[in-house]
Structure formats: C-alpha cells, structure tokens
Structure 1
C-alpha cells in the first residue's frame, strides 16, 4: 500500500526502514539505505560554503539523493539541460560547485531532518533560449508539489503500487516529476534503469508484477512496428507520453493490441503541466485542475497554480479554445512562415501529411535559399515503404504533392523531400527545427523536385 507524502515532509516524516524506494538491476534500495545516504550527504554539504550546486548524476537514484540532500542542507539546486562540455561552459557562472557523493559525511548523527519550506526551496532548470544560450527557469518546490498533488488526485488510484519504468531521462522536467518526485512522494518504486530500446524495456517490465511506463512519442510510435505490443509490454497499468503529440496511428495500435492507449501530457519547463488527453476518447486536451487558458486575438495565455506568480503567461502554441475550457493544439506560433508573400502554417502541413496512409511521421521546415521554400522530412508507413520500393522516390513525391495541392497553393508545396528511417528526435523525444534543417544541405537547391 502506497502512502502519499509531500516532498517537503518526506525526509522528516520518513517511511518504514524496509520500504522499497528504488529497483536496480542487482538490488532494491530500501528507505533505510536511501535516507541514510541523503542524511550523510546533506550533513557534508551543510559544512560547505558554496550555495549553488550543479547536479549531473546520470544515475536516477543518486540524482534523487543529491537533490534532496542539497535542499535539506539549504542549498540551491542547478540542473543543466545536458552534460555536454559546451553547455557546462556556458553555465559556468550559474553554479559554484558540482555535487558528488564523496562529499557525504558518515559521522552525521547530529543531523536531523526538518520539513522544507516549499516556497523557499529552489531549483534552476534550463531550456533552449532565443539567443542559443540555455535559458534559466527558476522553480520552487511548492510549484512541483502543486503539480504532483494534482497528478496523484487524477491517477493515483489507477497506479496503485505500480513500479515506475522510464524511457526518458530524469534531468528534464517531465522525467524529474514523473520518474523521480512523484514516485518518491507517492511511495512507488522507481526503476533506476533508463530503457533506451524495446528489449531493455521488456526486460525491466518483466521485473515487476505491475508497472507504469513514463515515455515519449519518439519511442512509443515505434514499438508497434517492432513486435506485438503484448510481447514487450506486459503487466502494465498505465503509459504516460510527453514531449509532443503522439500520432493517432500509434494510439490506435496501443488500443487495438493492449486495450488502452497512452495518456498524453502537454506542458513545458516554463509552464509545468498544462493539460492531458487520451486522444481516441477525445482529441481535445483537458487542462489540469486550476489551469485556465484564454485566447485573445490569436494569442493564447495561461493561468496556472504551477507558475511562479498569478500573472497570465503567453504560451508559444496557438490553440482553439472550446466552450468547456478544453482546447485543440494548432501548433507553435513561431512556425507560421511566409513563402512568396503567402502565409503557411507548418504544423497544418504536417497534420495533413500525417493523415495520409503512407506517412507515419512528418516534419516541415522553411528553407532559406535563393527563393524561400519548404522542405519536408518523412517517415513512411509499411504501405508507404512498399510504394517507394515499387515505384521510386519521384513517383511518391509527385503523388504526395497532388495530395497537398488539395489544401495549399502551388507556391507553398514542398520543393525538397527527405525520406528517413527515423526523424532526428532528442533524448527527450523532441524534434527541433535545427535537427530537421540539418537533413537539408545547401546542395539541395540544385535537386528540388518540382
């Protein structure tokens, strides 16, 4: 039986010594082991003068120990978006030291956990900035606790004592909440292994009687093509997906083979969670409790208990707001481009391509050449791959252009096409404009399909 405790009171309130916290390949970490580690490290860090500490452990349980120890030592937590040398160099002025388990002090009997003050417990996360430099997003523990409270109210009973198995990293906000903070707060076992491929996911799920999966569209959309889902995913009560919309083809495959489809979560580092959906039941997104959206002259604004203040925040996506407060996502505002003075919504083009039976995934970009034009990168379905093999690239492109011509002016039709085995997703399951642009070289100017 799980017992829900806010993170701010978790260490001071505690759990039974033998309570399982985390599963590793070779062992289960108990509450006694976990809390002893947090206590020893918090005591050691309390003796240090540095205040801003970078947390970079690739190990989910060590990462959790370090974050809680820093908070209980009264320190500021800094989590980088990645551990690339260039990123750490850019962030050098943002932290004073890098936390290490070697800083733990075993002679820590005098250290006593006291409840954290949620509003005064901080963490710095980073996201892509408009200048190319990581943009700092400062959050309080209170913001995280508000979100976790709502997640538990929505899905806590459904999850029960499920273990949490993940295919997403723990140092981005989705993984940090769904893989670390929420399981710790709810008393669910977190699996320490990051499942990077279907076989690993299958093996880790088999280690638990019941499990929930925290994943992304990047992996979930490919699972149905690799093997029957029941052979990979067994004993699973719930699947969460975030990082972008899941394709309807993938949602249908899960529903047909497992009897249910993933729960999709929409949000960002800046906003926290915004809404959720099960698209086969309703394609519209349902805002989380307390979250309200408005659409004023095409600008979407958000009021949320997960924000730092009560001021409405403009979000980067265009929405169609429904009378019941739910909404449809129309794509990012900054992806409306002009081609020969005609406006084109790249998300609209992608959405229409995804409705074609040959297309599994699509990404459109505006390419700056002598005359600005559109390039599309496409993953084909098995049907599309068969047509490509039988009739060739030019035949497929021409028929897809005929299809798009039903909806777009001729000057807006893509001139450059890439058929790829897999779109270039990041580790977080996100597809960036830069990654798609990289598929198109300047030489493509001489190889346009017209």
Structure 2
C-alpha cells in the first residue's frame, strides 16, 4: 500500500464493511471496492511503478466494475477517460485517439468493438475480468495536484474536447456538494445517469462513495424499475435530468389510483430530489411537486466547472432559478468586454474556484480563450441575478444545444450530416422541447436529384452519431437563409421547427 493515498481511497477505508454499491450482480461493500480497485490498478501498471498520468480509456456499463476500474486508474496514477456505452465506434475511436490512450479497458460486451480500436492506436487492451483477477501489487503515491480524469464535451469548435480534472478539483467538488446537499453515510441513492458525464460521475456516484453512502446502479434507464426502487422506501436521495422526471410523471399518470397513492407516499420518504444538466421547465417542477411532495432542487453546472450554483437544501427553491453560489465557488456576471454587468441586468456567467477544470487536453489556445485574467472561466451562459438567486436566460452561442441533459455541438452534427451522399449543405439548431429541453433539428439543402426523409437518414446517422445527437426533425430547403456575409441565420432556421 502506498504511503500517501488519495482521499477518496483513504475515506473508503474508514467505511469498513458498509454497503457501497448494488448492481445486477449483487451487493458490494467498500472493502470489496478497495480490493477490486487495487487489483485493477496492479493490472494497469503491468509491473511499472506508476502510470504517470497515462490516459486510460475504459468502456464499462454502470456497475460495480465501472467504479473498480475508475478507482483502479486513479490508484495506478493514470488519467481516467470514461467512454460512453451509447456511442458508435467512430466516436469511441475519436476519444481514444484524441486522448492518446496508452491503455484501453473494456467490459467483455464491448471487447469486439474496442479491441481493434485500441490496436489501431497502439494501446494495450485489457478486458475487465482479467483486470479484476490480477494479483495486487504495491501502488504508487498519487498527489492531488495530478490530473485525474478527462471528460469529453462538445464546444463551438465542433469536435469534443477533453476536459481535464485534477484530483484536487474532484475533491473540491465532493466537499462542496457534500456540505451543500447534506450527504451522509446513511444515504442511499439510485444512479440512472450515464457515467461519461459529470452529473453521474461526480454528483451521484462519487458523492455517495465519498460519504460512505450506498449507491444502487441501474445499467440502463427503466422508468418502471425506477418507480419500483422509489416505491421500496429504501432510497433517500435521487438525482436526474428533466427528461427522466417527465418520463416518471408519464408513468405515474398511467398507473392506477392505488399505485399512484403508494408511489406518491414513497416519494415523500426521500430527503432530497435534484434536477440538473438541462433547464427544468416550471411545468415539470410543479407537476412533480403535486405528485411527490418535493420541490426539485435545481442547480447549475457544466463539465468544465462541476457544480457552481444551487438552490438551497433548506429554504425556498424558486421555480425557474438555479440558486446561489455553492460553498467555495465565486460567480460573477459580466458584459461581453469583461466589465461587470449592472445590478439586475443580464450578463455572462463566469466562475472561479478550486473545482474548476485544469485545461482542455492538448488545446492550449482553447484553454486560454476559456478564461479571463484571474482564472475566471467563461461559461457562455447568460443569466440575471434577482434577490440573491440566478436565473439562466440562455447561451451566447446558438451552436450549443442542451438535449436530454447533454451539451451537444451543432457544428459537429453538421459536419457529419454533410458527409451524407444526399446532403449538399445543412444547418442544425436546437428547438425548445418539453421533454428534452431542446430537440436537435436539421435543415438540409439536397444535392441535385436527391431525396431525403428523417426515416431514411436515421439508420445512416446512428452509425456515426451518439443517440442524443441524432436529429429529431428534418426539413429540406431550397436554400438556407444567410446574411450578406454568407453566414447561416440560425434563428431563422429554428423558426421553421417552432
């Protein structure tokens, strides 16, 4: 055992035989997680003393195995790069190549897809059963200033960028969220979120494990199973995106009177229910409050900053607002030139604090552009402060779409659609949607003599885009609206889908 351990690991040792995770394979304690992650770390090291921030891409469904691999990467001194189980091979290959991964780890279900991708990039390939079966060896001391993980997020430049967190920034997030949301060892939560995204990784899984709580893991979202777990009365905390709450509402409304009454009563036994990753429609908040008795705690964050603003655990939660700065987080509103916005006037949100990311992986220019002097991160989101609470008005860039809790680049989708043989030119926009927050819509100019429908496009697009990036509406146009400089007028495009 190393002389210096990461706080997440050393804290786990104090939790003894407490329940850590529950997945399809059964229940797993903290001692089992420590043992399994040490085995994974040893397998990754392969006789080396320290991975020294080598990137380890891994594709493991939400499960105990996911946590064991994630912790194993960290304990071996590597940078954990989680891949998305929903992504097609083209997107997986992009992440492996952009991260310059030294090692690729895959659950057996994904070995056939990932093995050739790893080989093509010269990365060592390991399947999870082999990693979990390795003998434990001495592990390195890992300083908190080191890079810990890299999450891929879309931006205005099109292709996803690797957002690098250090162990110190992760710790800062876990400490502030534990304080703000009252996490404790007797909490029990249910993970229904993907684990390549900060919401699932930090807010749910890591917060639970930081505090010695128990996390039940649902490998794939099932609205009826979620209601079953809520109805059991075992859960104390639940976090999801607005789309999930809309589906829970629909399922509740489809149940009989006795079942509804039982489920509503069970909701009231939870101490906290949170919504994030996309704007929460006031209509959803109000309907959920009628059903569950909970006013959802809405918060604001993003991959680069973790969580920055939150409604209070105790106190008034204002519909349409995302609350005040979390402990240790500084927030300000500025004009486009960086000067302070007038009180009560809209401004771009800028955030500073120990939980802010370190850098965009191997993109020094993009990193420099993302910050103002003093390490203030420029979120690109516009808000107004009213009575000490922030209300999000929108984004500076029309090329960022927030759909189903994911931030998607319209430019990236456009680049893919332009490779379709029938498409000459296209414009992708986000249009307000009650279920998804925004839905992805595409307007296309066709090549001469070609025809294209959404039904015809989707099978082709599924091979190239993640499910949440797929267009949900398609219109063909003779010519896209443009200004005098030839730039597509996206607000005009969006009106076609309103």
In structure 1, the partner of 2:377 is: 313
Q: Does 1:292 align with 2:298?
A: no
In structure 1, the partner of 2:102 is: 96
Unaligned runs of 5+ residues in structure 2 are: 106-126, 254-259, 336-346, 359-373, 403-409, 415-423, 436-461, 480-494
In structure 1, the partner of 2:9 is: 10
Q: Does 1:84 align with 2:88?
A: yes
How far did 1:254 drift? 2.2
CA gap 1:61/1:296 in 2 versus in 1, 3 angstroms: same
Greater alpha carbon shift after TM alignment, 245-254 vs 128-137: 128-137
Alignment of 1:155-304 (within 5 A): 155-156=181-182, 161-194=186-219, 196-207=221-232, 209-227=234-252, 230-232=261-263, 234=266, 235-277=269-311, 281=318, 283-284=320-321, 285-297=323-335, 298-304=347-353
CA gap 1:200/1:272 in 2 versus in 1, 3 angstroms: same
In structure 1, the partner of 2:440 is: none
Aligned length: 364
Query: TM-score if structure 1 supplies the norm length?
Result: 0.70
CA gap 1:40/1:247 in 2 versus in 1, 3 angstroms: same
Tell me, in whole angstroms, the C-alpha distance in 2 between the residues paired with 1:9 and 1:214: 21
Q: Does 1:149 align with 2:155?
A: no
Q: Deviations over 1:6-47 (max 9, x none)?
A: 962524761455321111245211223222211222122222
Do the aligned residues in 2 keep the contact of 1:11 with 1:35 (CA within 8 Å)? no
Do the aligned residues in 1 keep the contact of 2:297 with 2:311 (CA within 8 Å)? yes
How far did 1:130 drift? 2.9
Do the aligned residues in 2 keep the contact of 1:210 with 1:236 (CA within 8 Å)? yes
SS of the residue 1:32 aligns to = helix
Do the aligned residues in 1 keep the contact of 2:190 with 2:235 (CA within 8 Å)? no
In structure 2, the partner of 1:360 is: none
CA gap 1:73/1:321 in 2 versus in 1, 3 angstroms: same
CA gap 1:98/1:252 in 2 versus in 1, 3 angstroms: same
In structure 1, the partner of 2:21 is: 22
Q: Does 1:127 align with 2:153?
A: yes
How far did 1:185 drift? 0.7
Do the aligned residues in 1 keep the contact of 2:227 with 2:248 (CA within 8 Å)? no
SS of the residue 1:316 aligns to = strand
Tell me, in whole angstroms, the C-alpha distance in 2 between the residues paired with 1:137 and 1:80: 13
Tell me, in whole angstroms, the C-alpha distance in 1 between the residues paired with 2:497 and 2:377: 42
Aligned-CA RMSD value = 3.9
CA gap 1:300/1:264 in 2 versus in 1, 3 angstroms: closer
Query: TM-score if structure 2 supplies the norm length?
Result: 0.64
CA gap 1:131/1:155 in 2 versus in 1, 3 angstroms: closer
CA gap 1:40/1:208 in 2 versus in 1, 3 angstroms: farther
Tell me, in whole angstroms, the C-alpha distance in 1 between the residues paired with 2:398 and 2:434: 20
SS of the residue 1:118 aligns to = coil
Q: Does 1:66 align with 2:69?
A: yes
Unaligned runs of 5+ residues in structure 1 are: 1-5, 338-345, 348-364, 381-425
Alignment of 1:339-358 (within 5 A): none
Q: Deviations over 1:383-441 (max 9, x none)?
A: xxxxxxxxxxxxxxxxxxxxxxxxxxxxxxxxxxxxxxxxxxx9xxx997x656x5131
SS of the residue 1:302 aligns to = strand
CA gap 1:230/1:140 in 2 versus in 1, 3 angstroms: farther
In structure 1, the partner of 2:446 is: none
Tell me, in whole angstroms, the C-alpha distance in 2 between the residues paired with 1:448 and 1:72: 52
Do the aligned residues in 2 keep the contact of 1:148 with 1:182 (CA within 8 Å)? yes
Q: Which has the higher contact order (CA 8 A, sep 6+)?
A: 2
